[in-house]
Amino acid sequence: MSTAPESTSHSLATETAGASGQWPRSFDIFCRVIDNYGDIGVCWRLAQQLARHPGGFRVRLWVDDLQRCRSLVPETDASLPYQTVRQVELVHWTDAPPPCEPRDVVIEAFACDPPGDFLRKMTQANAWINLEYLSAEDWVEGCHGLGSPQEISASPLQGDGTIHGAAMPAEAVPRKKLVLKKRFFFPGFTPGTGGLLREPDLLARRRAWLAQPSLRWQLLRDLGVSSDAIARLRQDALQVLLFCYPHAPAGQLLERLSAAHGQAVILLPEGVRADIPSAPPANIRIQRIPFVPQEHFDALLWSSDLNCIRGEDSLVRGLWAGRPLLWHIYAQDENAHLEKLDAWLARSPYPPDAQALMRNWNRQDGGASWPAFPSGDAWQAWKDSAGVWLETLSSMPDLVSSLLDMLRKEAACA
């Protein structure tokens, strides 16, 4: 549904009039889709959880690439500048953004730099949050929640570029200075961080799905999985979701998997380019599937025996699946990503052989010597550890609860 943007004359006081008085009541979320789908994946889940919150929040999500958004949320019309999708107001963020008044809370996802004209409309009454990337490194706890003063250059003292009617060069026109505090919010894996995105009913939906095996087979049929592949899965072949970056050593992984387990069906989503040999091992069946919306992606994670996932959003959803996973972390210069991987593995309960496999999976060359893929008791230990981490992480506050708690505590101290 298309919606009109709020005009510049619309006041924040008007927006919250008639509400219960509890702050905050409304959110802006800004998202740039840099590459792949991790940024929009996180932002859409955050927007959805806030929009469905019992607090009745109004949520506006600004996205610069609606086509990518449509891949995750099929109801999105990429041709519309404004629309409402699943209770979220969706705005196409262009070089000429619409003149909207800032909401109570402005969330800047991953340092994406909201428009200057928008920031100049903010006041001390607005909370400004920079949602950071997920990390398990030790320094995150010390930085979570810290504030940083941001000096915003306001509009000229007169809108026509004059002072007392005398024309002046634009660069010479005095400008007011507005100082706003931007607070840094770090998702994480410990109580000293902002936690992980988790809808209140997520684990209950997972349990309900797993309690009805017919849902799994129906989903696979809907995705075009062949009857032969489904028959193999019914005969206890491993179901493996392979969602990795192109440089992942997929061929080496399949060799180890083939040697350790009898049969396996590899689900390879559309658009994922993996280094798979043209003639994989005979007991490995490769099955292409379409790119799926987020809710179907969750169901695939719940029902797969092994999830090979990439990026941030998929990692978090893989953890909530409670299944063994191989995280293909986003590669960075000077192998900085391997330090982040080590920090994450250090917090995990995964057994040593699973951790060794994870490290090889993230080396550009796959490593000179691959460990064997866990089987027998080692495979069971990996499965058990995934369940343990699910329980541990779910015992901590979720990201939205932590965010609201931080915002309300700060408002109470203001």
The C-alpha atoms of residue 210 and residue 172 are separated, in whole angstroms, by 66
In a domain, residue 66? The reply is yes
Distances (CA, A) of 239 to 217, 221, 250, 286, 305: 12, 14, 15, 10, 5
Which positions are catalytic?
Answer: 39, 312
> 182 and 63 share a domain?
yes
> 402 and 391 share a domain?
no
Phi–psi pair at 165, nearest 5 degrees: 85, -5
Expressed as residue numbers, the domain containing 58 is 26-154+177-196+398-413
In a domain, residue 6? The reply is no
In a domain, residue 3? The reply is no
- Which pLDDT score is estimated for 76? 94
In a domain, residue 261? The reply is yes
**Model's pTM, two decimal places?**
0.89
> 119 and 36 share a domain?
yes
Our count of domains for the chain comes to 2
> 46 and 183 share a domain?
yes
> 188 and 214 share a domain?
no
State the CATH number of the domain containing residue 208: 3.40.50.2000
> 191 and 209 share a domain?
no
In a domain, residue 94? The reply is yes
- Which pLDDT score is estimated for 366? 57
In a domain, residue 230? The reply is yes
The C-alpha atoms of residue 194 and residue 4 are separated, in whole angstroms, by 34
Q: Mean pLDDT, consecutive 10-residue segments, the chain of 414 residues?
A: 45 37 90 82 96 95 92 92 96 90 96 91 93 96 93 60 49 69 96 98 98 98 97 97 92 93 94 84 95 94 97 96 96 89 98 95 74 95 98 98 95 79
> 354 and 386 share a domain?
yes
> 228 and 342 share a domain?
yes
- Which pLDDT score is estimated for 161? 44
- Which pLDDT score is estimated for 168? 55
In a domain, residue 385? The reply is yes
> 141 and 220 share a domain?
no
In a domain, residue 67? The reply is yes
- Which pLDDT score is estimated for 178? 82
Query: What b/e sequence results for 286-312 when a residue is b if at least 16 CB atoms lie within 10 Å of its CB, and e otherwise?
Result: bbebeebebeebbbbbbbbbbbbbbbb
> 232 and 273 share a domain?
yes
User: Which amino acid, 340?
Assistant: K
> 279 and 219 share a domain?
yes
> 236 and 297 share a domain?
yes
